[in-house]
Structure 1
Amino acid sequence: MKTSFGKSSITALLCAGTALTSLAALPALAQQAPAQETASESMLGEIVVTARRRAESLQDVPVSISAFTAEMLENAGTPDITALTKTTPNLTMQVARGSNSTLIAFIRGVGQQDPLWGFEPGVGLYVDDVYVARPQGAVLDIFDIERIEVLRGPQGTLYGRNTIGGAVKYVTKKIDDEPHMKAKVQVGSYKQTDLILSGSSPVTETLGVSGAVALYRRDGYGDNLTTGQEHYDKDVSAGRLSVEFTPNEDVFIRVAADKTVDDSNPRHGYRLFATPTVPVLDSVYDTRAGLTGKQKVKNQGASLTAEFNVNDALMVKSITAYRDGRSDTVIDFDNLPAKILDIPAYYEDDQLSQELQLVYEGDRLKGVAGLYYMDAHAEGAFDTILGLANLTTLTSGSVDTKSYAAFADFTYELTDQVKASVGARYTSDKKEGTVYRVNYAGLTSPLFGGAARNPTLIRSNYTNERTFDEFTPRFSLTYEATSDLTLYASYGRGFKSGGFDMRGDVISTPDTRNGYEPELVDTYEVGSKSRFWDGRATLNLAAFYSDYKGQQVTTQVPSGTTVVSFVDNVGSSTIKGLEAEGLLALTDELTANFAIGYIDAEFKKFLRYNLTSRAYENIANTAVFQNTPKWTANFGLTYVHDMGTAGTVTLTGSAAHRSAFSLFEFRNALLDQGAYTLYDLSAIWTAESNNWSVGLHGKNLGNKKYRVGGYNFPGALFGDSIIGFYGPPRTVTATVEYRF
């Protein structure tokens, strides 16, 4: 049964927001707080975000945004950014199938599951305003941060291409005026042993230095029964270093560098399909995969941020950044000892970007305008080894991208209560794609260590260029009904660049050499942001409608003695949804929080290329949105008890629910994930001096087994490979932290 959602729902949302003004007159839930800030007031305090490229209060921004401070994340024992899936409505962030640190992200049904080189993400990731173009190594561990912001809906004006679903901003700490250091040790389940060191110090009155080092080690949740390796283990080392120079109150310069190395073992899948000779394993974290080889992910980057206050109203900001990365990996698709469907691969990328901003803060006019440039290169190669056919298909290639953009976004106060915002961005992407795909007799191509020999068949060998231009406007109207209630309505367009399928097979799909077109999303949204009960509660509501055109969908299907991939702009769809987030101070010590998301997504047109008829067919009636549960919900309680000279105890508990969803655009009873709920509980003791803290964090206490990815390659030639990848089981982590 379809759920209706239209003008009546939007009207109801606005009425609900307006009704909040009357709630302020209701009796307070507890006695008025004393002058000293209580624990609940601390949680309900103002959070400053930069969603519109300038500092604003979270409650004043007419954007659907979730913001998490370092304290919130630490109290919950949040390990990495994928945990935001539990607490943010209509968000999916997971470790990509067959990887340890590659990120897939979806917001409001829009994203990208395929992390192959040259493919663009649908959710933009930013580290200190530097765009991270590739998903490899993007599962960022949380340490030494100030906050994380999740912006929902297209951010095409201020953040540009590939923020069609939204954007995630990872903001690290700036250097304090006083020197400080922090050492944190974490030990837990599966022999987890982590060490995190961070600190900053002024060197002179105008110069400061900060740095952080994090080492994460953990045995696997399971075993590779063929090789004897730990499976789902973790071996990650990361570091950051920054220098800040402030010669006077009008100039700020920051140079920062970071590096992450992931040496975790290969992550293979769990066979969901039993055969007469191969039963299903007892543990979903075990595997029988036999493919071995180099497994390493390295990412590093450096940036220069400079800010200059021209006068009290105008600031010039420059962000120059360079990043590069290399991933060597092996994925055993059949998950059996024999070479039935094995994939050794490497990915490599680099990017140079420059952004120039003019930030204006006048009496009634505020906003930002700027220019952006990026020069990026992505390349890679992999073998598709079909042992039963004694055949290997080598796929290799590269994509070079030059992206140019100009943007502006300004807000004008029409009256003391009414503000209008107008923004626009023009983007031009020039791409050159090279694809080389050939068959070799025997197992393993010369590129991956096989004997030197000529290919038996050239399937693709071409280079092509495309330019993709797009204009992405944004409009919003904000009405401050009271000092505690803001209503807004907005429209925004998102643009995800087109490109070339790096697996393109000219023999099977001749049109692949022409590339695929961009995606476009037009989103209409109304919402409210409110405080009531004397500031002891907040409630943020949003309703949205998106018109989605040209979705880029990757399909990999068995075809003869090979696996054929094609990327189609499948057609159009509509996405309707609701979101609600709230905080409530039940007492001075006890605070409740919740987040609820609802999505109704439906394909209107879904064109699929038929390899037999060589024609496109509309199969929208059988297609569904992937990684998009209809309902997401989170409820949490935080209790903070001040024991005086004995310190402070903080208890944080939460339940996160996701309704059933499909891992791909077509339902599969074996692969699709049913509804599930995850329960977490954390306890932290902090000394009165605030120097010491000791914590205990339990995750997935119900030990729920849930899939976050999978592959589907049925048929004897491919080993009847239907495999799943899973989120972490129940874990318990103890932490000790010393600050000095």
Structure 2
Amino acid sequence: MSSFFPSRSLLRGSAAILALTAAAPALAQEASAAEPGVATGNDVVVVARKRAERLLDVPIAVSALTSDQLAKQQTIDLSGVQGTIPNVNLVQGRGSSSNANIFIRGVGQPDALQTFDPAVGVYVDGVYMSRIQGALFNLYDIDHIEVLRGPQGTLYGKNTIGGAVNVISRKPSTNEIHAMGSFTYGSYNQVLANGYVSAPLVEGKLALSVAGVYDKRDGTVTDPLTNRKYNDRDTLAGRAILRWTPSSDVEFLLEGDYTRQRTAATLGYATAPLIQTDFVTGARVLSPAYPYGPYNYKASTGLGPDQGQRLDHWGVSLTGNIRLNDILSLTSITAYRDLRPDYYLDFDATQYQVADAFVGFRQHQFSQELQLKLDTEKLKGVFGLYYLNERVRSHQESYDDALFTVLKAPITFTRLIDDNQNTKSYAAFGQLTYNFTDQLSLTGGLRYTREDKTYSRFTTTVSSLAALNGISFAFPGNLPAPYNGGNSVSFDAWTPSATLSYKPARNATLYVSASRGFKSGGFNGRVNSAADVTQIVDGKPVIVPYFKPETVWTYEAGAKGEFLGGAVTISSDVFYSDYRDFQARVGGGAIGATANGSFPVLNAGKLRIWGVESEIAVHPTREWSIRTSFGYLNAKYLEFNDGRRTAPTGKDAFSCNPTGKQITCKPAFAPPINFSVATDYAVPLGSAGTLTFGGDARFVDKQWLSVDNRPGLMEKGYWLVNAFVQYDAPGNKWYLRGGVKNLTKAVYLTDAQEFSSVGNIQTAYYGDPRTWSGTLGFRF
């Protein structure tokens, strides 16, 4: 769908929304005159600032989705929040069934490889997940999700330059037994079973909860050449939490989780012609763009039936919450995680082995966080220390047998890669809020972060052509002096924040803030030769063995209000971000190039990003609820220093499209408009129960899915419509729900792989087709 969406009308609407929000404090003062008892969800308690607060009281741009809201959105995993929170892009990413590709306000991760750090931190019960692999969690036992927009450099720190996603699990009750479960059957033979039980082991002292999910579905993509199915689901996961409260001042939570995935490959679709290079006759088109015409969930692959994707991901954590006295409390979070993905990937998305690959790595991390919390009438704060030790070892194999020929005779070509990275991260932070009055408060925070990274890599080739066989490269050992002398680098940063907050009424908050975010630098995990770390600076080739950190300053003003007895709530903000040294992984060859180039990683320059965000919830009656979100994003490159070539002036600003033309590209994953509306209406059936009708519609505007704006890797904008009907039995003990997702059969892009320097690969990934499901569930 093209971006014919009435943007001007929405912008006028957003201005009205902001005006209404500005009036919210006054309306909030009238709440006592409204009829009491109107249903409202605004007393959701969040821990966005490392302490429990009402969502309405938190002076930052944060959204919370409860388990009930997620169920109404038919959400299965973390990607289900896509399109429901302003300026948040969260999708299954980068050719994997378990990767989470997250961009918030146009800030995200440029490459899925494990040497690149995420720009949005994902936390599960306070534990940071270092990799996007395995971060697409099934949401089977959560209490709620918190999404914090904008840099969270003070309290979260490490790699939260774009924001943070907090997944909060249900905690077992030490006094009551709770249980819930559901069974779902749907299209493509979907079988989804969830179960949760919580029970006290020692009344008032010790409790245990156990939760699990089984999620299996046939593939939605068919290979016409073999009739095999791809893009399926097959997940088994569980979590157990032991809660011990020896006294009213002490709580310990011992938590363990395990996720197992076994799926076929995740296939995209080739959007550009694949180029095969003959060393005698030159280049030729091996396969056309869109080989099966407009996308219709058909794609081919050179992978065999046993070359799928496997993931094992587990972790344990111990959280202690100790109240030291009336004003001080201590929290300790100790965690260990182990991540083992083995992925077969078809980057070219055809039956030819232009670039098929195996990527397997073993990652483990240990983290320790200490938080000392202060709580007085005038002064509240959090002081902390953080430590992370992460090691990643990987083995990769790139199968490129269709990439080269000699006089049209085939040549085998495989690249073997082994690398090793160790990261140690240290941080100290503090944040204080001083209440000048009951209404006016000032919050200031500061964090110091230091990261030490060590990286080594060895790659070699195996080919039937002698000239291509046994080409080896060691990083950094094969770089010229003095760059071959070491493989370690350290980065550090100070990340302050300041917020002025004013509460004209109990259920209203106004605030202005400034905050700095930092994302660590690192090593190019695709370096196969010195060319991959060589850039042109002032017309001369320069070796850049690692890329630098990126930083952002964000300035924000916002307002939140609840009024008319809780019937209406509004949360809106405007922001401006100065984003510098952003990291961009670009292709080293031109479109249609005959040679196969390199994979440089650039600190490309500067972006300016500003936008508007708003969320509104309305309850016209007890039975009827309406929720909307709106985001406007204006993202622009102010500078793009592309080290792949040099212009006649010796500088190369705004040359991010490698066609040789100096043009200004648009930042990727930054749609100008995103909008959603959801509603549900409950029809009381007297003593027979309740029947609820609901649905939601989401719009995502035109956006580029590659840094240098490849024509086929652009989503033109789409609507996504979902609907459900649910029957709840008397007492809400059990329910029956039927749902449809993607009701209008929208065909839309979610992600992309750009490796144009290898056979001109430009592969797009698409969202699911229309699906239906029926669910039977219980709760007590």
Q: Do both proteins adopt the same fold according to a TM-score greater than 0.5, normalized to the shorter chain?
A: yes
CA distance in 2, matches of 1:471, 1:693: 51
| Structure 1 residue 86: Cα displacement | 1.7
Range with bigger deviation, 607-616 or 225-234: 607-616
**1:96 and 1:709 in contact (8 A); partners too:** yes
CA distance in 2, matches of 1:108, 1:554: 19
CA distance in 1, matches of 2:20, 2:156: 31
**2:625 and 2:679 in contact (8 A); partners too:** yes
2:63 maps to amino acid? S
| Structure 1 residue 379: Cα displacement | 2.5
2:192 maps to amino acid? D
Q: 1:695 to 1:545 in 2, by over 3 A?
A: same
Structure 2 match to 1:659: 701
| Structure 1 residue 378: Cα displacement | 1.6
Tell me, yes or no, if structure 1 residue 245 matches structure 2 residue 259: no
Structure 2 match to 1:180: 178
CA distance in 2, matches of 1:433, 1:459: 11
Structure 1 match to 2:66: 69
CA distance in 1, matches of 2:602, 2:296: 33
| Structure 1 residue 459: Cα displacement | 6.6
1:202 maps to amino acid? P
CA distance in 2, matches of 1:187, 1:616: 58
**1:499 and 1:515 in contact (8 A); partners too:** yes
Q: 1:563 to 1:442 in 2, by over 3 A?
A: farther
Structure 2 match to 1:425: 447
Tell me, yes or no, if structure 1 residue 603 matches structure 2 residue 603: no
**1:622 and 1:666 in contact (8 A); partners too:** no
| Structure 1 residue 311: Cα displacement | 1.2
Map 1:203-222; keep pairs closer than 5 Å.
203-205=201-203, 206-222=205-221
Map 1:273-672; keep pairs closer than 5 Å.
273=272, 279-281=291-293, 283-292=295-304, 293-387=307-401, 388-389=403-404, 390=411, 391-442=413-464, 455-458=470-473, 460-462=475-477, 464-508=487-531, 509-510=533-534, 514-558=545-589, 562-610=596-644, 617-619=652-654, 621-672=663-714
1:683 maps to amino acid? V
Report the secondary structure of 1:689's partner residue.
Answer: helix
1:583 maps to amino acid? A
Range with bigger deviation, 649-658 or 567-576: 649-658
CA distance in 2, matches of 1:456, 1:109: 39
Q: 1:283 to 1:11 in 2, by over 3 A?
A: closer
Instruction: Output the aligned Cα RMSD.
Output: 2.7
Q: 1:512 to 1:78 in 2, by over 3 A?
A: farther
Structure 2 match to 1:447: none
CA distance in 2, matches of 1:548, 1:713: 25
Structure 2 match to 1:231: 230
Structure 2 match to 1:156: 153
CA distance in 2, matches of 1:401, 1:330: 26
| Structure 1 residue 302: Cα displacement | 0.5
Tell me, yes or no, if structure 1 residue 688 matches structure 2 residue 730: yes
Tell me, yes or no, if structure 1 residue 733 matches structure 2 residue 773: yes
Report the secondary structure of 1:82's partner residue.
Answer: helix
Q: 1:10 to 1:707 in 2, by over 3 A?
A: closer
CA distance in 1, matches of 2:153, 2:561: 26
CA distance in 2, matches of 1:727, 1:733: 17
CA distance in 2, matches of 1:288, 1:210: 44
**2:127 and 2:335 in contact (8 A); partners too:** yes
**1:512 and 1:566 in contact (8 A); partners too:** no
CA distance in 1, matches of 2:597, 2:343: 19
| Structure 1 residue 738: Cα displacement | 1.9
1:322-372 per-position Cα deviation (integer Å, ceiling 9, x unaligned) = 011111111222333332222222122111000001111111111111100
Q: Structure 2: which 5+ runs fail to align? A: 1-6, 274-284, 405-410, 478-485, 535-541, 656-662
**1:392 and 1:443 in contact (8 A); partners too:** no
Report the secondary structure of 1:74's partner residue.
Answer: helix
**1:81 and 1:139 in contact (8 A); partners too:** yes
Q: 1:26 to 1:604 in 2, by over 3 A?
A: same
**2:34 and 2:564 in contact (8 A); partners too:** no
Q: 1:539 to 1:13 in 2, by over 3 A?
A: closer
| Structure 1 residue 613: Cα displacement | 8.7
Over the matched positions of the two proteins, sequence identity in percent amounts to: 34
**1:271 and 1:280 in contact (8 A); partners too:** no
Range with bigger deviation, 455-464 or 475-484: 455-464
Structure 2 match to 1:105: 102
Structure 2 match to 1:448: none
2:100 maps to amino acid? L
| Structure 1 residue 272: Cα displacement | 2.9
**1:692 and 1:739 in contact (8 A); partners too:** yes
CA distance in 2, matches of 1:471, 1:606: 25
CA distance in 2, matches of 1:13, 1:217: 42
CA distance in 2, matches of 1:638, 1:12: 24
CA distance in 2, matches of 1:476, 1:27: 27
**Paired residues, what number?**
719
1:111-139 per-position Cα deviation (integer Å, ceiling 9, x unaligned) = 11411112100000000000001111111
| Structure 1 residue 692: Cα displacement | 0.6
| Structure 1 residue 507: Cα displacement | 2.6
**2:473 and 2:528 in contact (8 A); partners too:** no
Structure 1 match to 2:282: none
| Structure 1 residue 269: Cα displacement | 1.7
| Structure 1 residue 714: Cα displacement | 5.4
**1:441 and 1:456 in contact (8 A); partners too:** no
**2:423 and 2:452 in contact (8 A); partners too:** yes
CA distance in 2, matches of 1:694, 1:11: 41
Structure 2 match to 1:723: 763
Q: 1:12 to 1:724 in 2, by over 3 A?
A: closer
Q: 1:338 to 1:593 in 2, by over 3 A?
A: closer
Report the secondary structure of 1:602's partner residue.
Answer: strand
1:385-404 per-position Cα deviation (integer Å, ceiling 9, x unaligned) = 33242332333312100100
Q: 1:341 to 1:616 in 2, by over 3 A?
A: farther
**1:638 and 1:651 in contact (8 A); partners too:** yes
CA distance in 1, matches of 2:560, 2:287: 59
Range with bigger deviation, 624-633 or 263-272: 263-272
Tell me, yes or no, if structure 1 residue 268 matches structure 2 residue 267: yes
1:517-570 per-position Cα deviation (integer Å, ceiling 9, x unaligned) = 101010000011111223211111100000000101111334876452111100
1:272-292 per-position Cα deviation (integer Å, ceiling 9, x unaligned) = 346797642565422210223
Q: Structure 1: which 5+ runs fail to align? A: 445-452
**2:28 and 2:508 in contact (8 A); partners too:** no
2:727 maps to amino acid? W
CA distance in 2, matches of 1:19, 1:43: 20
CA distance in 2, matches of 1:529, 1:126: 25
1:596 maps to amino acid? F
| Structure 1 residue 675: Cα displacement | 1.2
CA distance in 2, matches of 1:498, 1:427: 13
Which one of 730, 739, 743 corresponds to residue 701 of structure 1? 743
**1:505 and 1:566 in contact (8 A); partners too:** no
| Alignment TM-score, normalising by the size of structure 1 | 0.92
| Structure 1 residue 633: Cα displacement | 0.5
**1:103 and 1:137 in contact (8 A); partners too:** yes
Range with bigger deviation, 491-500 or 268-277: 268-277
1:353 maps to amino acid? S
| Structure 1 residue 710: Cα displacement | 2.1
| Structure 1 residue 436: Cα displacement | 2.1
Report the secondary structure of 1:593's partner residue.
Answer: strand
CA distance in 1, matches of 2:476, 2:29: 71
Report the secondary structure of 2:70's partner residue.
Answer: helix
Range with bigger deviation, 391-400 or 587-596: 391-400
